[in-house]
Amino acid sequence: MRKLVVTTALAGLVLAGCAQRPAETGSPGTRPPGSGSVGVTSSPVPPARLSPQGEDALERARRDGTRSVGLTVSTEPGRADEVAGAVDRLGGTVEATDATIGYVRVTVPVELAEQVVSVDGVSRVDVDEPLSNGDPTP
pLDDT tens for 93-125 read: 999 999 999 999 999 999 999 899 999 999 999
pLDDT tens for 51-101 read: 888 899 999 999 999 999 999 999 999 999 999 999 999 999 999 999 999
Q: 43 pLDDT exceeds 80?
A: no
Quick one: pLDDT at residue 65? 92
pLDDT tens for 3-42 read: 444 444 444 444 444 444 444 444 455 555 554 545 555 5
Domain 52-127 fold is: Alpha-Beta Plaits (3.30.70)
DSSP the chain: -HHHHHHHHHHHHHHHTTTPPPPP-SSTT---TTSS-----PPPPPPP-B-HHHHHHHHHHHHHT--EEEEEEEE-TT-HHHHHHHHHHHT-EEEEEETTTTEEEEEEEGGGHHHHHTSTTEEEEEE--PPP------
Q: What CA–CA distance (Å, rounded) separates 56 from 48?
A: 17
Domain ranges of the chain: 52-127
Instruction: Kindly give, in sequence order, each residue whose CB lies less than 8 Å from that of residue 25, ignoring residues fewer than 6 positions away.
Output: 32
pTM tops 0.75, yes or no: no
Quick one: pLDDT at residue 20? 46
Quick one: pLDDT at residue 92? 95
What's the whole-number mean pLDDT along residues 127-138?
A: 74
